[in-house]
Amino acid sequence: MRKIFSLIILGILAFGIWYSLKNIPFATHKTKVGKYYVYKGIKETGATNIVTSVVVNYRGFDTLGEVTVLFIAAIGLGAILATRKKKKRKEIEKPSLILYTGCYLLFPLILLFGAYIFIHGHLTPGGGFQGGAIIASAFLLRYLGCPERKINRKASDATESLGGLIFVLLGLLGLIVGGYFLLNFLPKGVPNLLFSAGIIPIIYIAIGFKVGSELAGVIDNLIEESK
Amino acid sequence: MIFISLLVAGMLGAAIVACILKDLLTAVIASCVVSLIAAILFFFLQAPDVAMAEASIGAALVTAVFVIAIIRTNRYEE
């Protein structure tokens, strides 16, 4: 009886979603704001990747909120795990030779790839969040492959704070120079070049470092507690 | 088109497996497969930014967090 009831509710929900979405054509200009971003975005912000120009420039304040949410989540996790009693650490099992060597060879390459993703965030797909997550996955591989080497928590916390600070300070500089928070006050340059799009690459590099060190810290917290 | 339909079917299958299974480790791997196929589908829908975020966060980091949680608790659901 309960299963039939839940199936009926699910059916009603699915019908509602289908009915509300069936008249929306994808990949066409239905809204004016999307059209505006697509045609005026490159000229106004200098960033070839329109997603980046929306995330960092047009909706930069929302991105600051997102970064803050991630920061609060990482702090909350650290606070919850820190109140637990520290157990005696078990002896770590040595990883196999293949995992160890693979970790050694792949770790710098994955870091380089993550850095490429967030430095080129205004030119190619990707950006600070994606690059930061890739860097954190490099640290995850390191924790699995070479467990005797740990990240320096003080350095990662300092990097995290510095990233957030650069973001907010750039926003405040925009407020001082032009009267808007996160105003793109640097010269836009020529689109498609690495040094273009004003403050967008600087903000994305700061976000990349911040997200990477934050997620690496989360992984460090979890793995240290699970031993 | 056939390829995309196969991907969607595989995603649905992996999602159902993740819901049904009592072995939580296999269920976590199945949810990882869901994220991976979602990343491929995002790429086909011309959203490479989202695809990248989904692949690195959904498939790698979230799976790792779940596996660590399973290490601390029970592997099998009663």
B51–chain A nearest CA distance, Å: 9
Contact A129 B53 (CB under 8 A): yes
Which residues lie below 8 Å from residue B25, measured CB to CB, with a gap of 6+? B67, B70, B75
Within-domain flag for A150? yes
Contact A219 B64 (CB under 8 A): yes
Over 70: is that where the pLDDT of A26 sits? no
Contact A126 B61 (CB under 8 A): no
The tally of domains found in chain A comes to 1
Spatial CA neighbour of A100 closest among A143, A152, A151, A136: A143
Q: Quickly state the pLDDT bin for A13 (edges 50, 70, 90).
A: very high
As separate numbers, helices (DSSP H) first and strands (DSSP E) second, chain A gives 8, 0
Q: Quickly state the pLDDT bin for A7 (edges 50, 70, 90).
A: very high
CB of A116 closer than 8 Å to CB of A134: no
- Measured between beta carbons, the chain A residues lying within 8 angstroms of B46 are 27
A221 three-class SS: helix
Contact B68 A222 (CB under 8 A): yes
Contact B60 A215 (CB under 8 A): no
Mean pLDDT on A9-34: 83
Mean pLDDT on A144-171: 84
What pLDDT score was predicted for residue A14?
A: 95
User: Would you list the domain boundaries of chain B?
Assistant: 2-72
Q: Quickly state the pLDDT bin for A198 (edges 50, 70, 90).
A: confident
Which positions of chain B have pLDDT values less than 50?
Answer: none
Within-domain flag for A4? no
Q: What is the DSSP string of A112-144?
A: HHHHHHHHTTTTSS--HHHHHHHHHHHHHHHHH
B72 at the A interface (CB within 8 A)? yes
Instruction: Write out pLDDT tens, residues A72-113.
Output: 988 888 888 877 665 555 556 777 888 888 888 888 999 999
Residue range of the domain that includes A47: 33-226
Which member of B61, B68, B71 has the closest CB to residue A137?
A: B61
Within-domain flag for A6? no
Within-domain flag for A5? no
Instruction: Write out pLDDT tens, residues A51-65.
Output: 888 888 888 889 889
The region of weakest confidence among A11-25, A139-153, A167-181, B38-52 is: A139-153
What predicted TM-score, i.e. pTM, was given to this entire model? 0.82
Within-domain flag for A2? no
Within-domain flag for A64? yes
A184 three-class SS: coil
The complex's ipTM works out to: 0.83
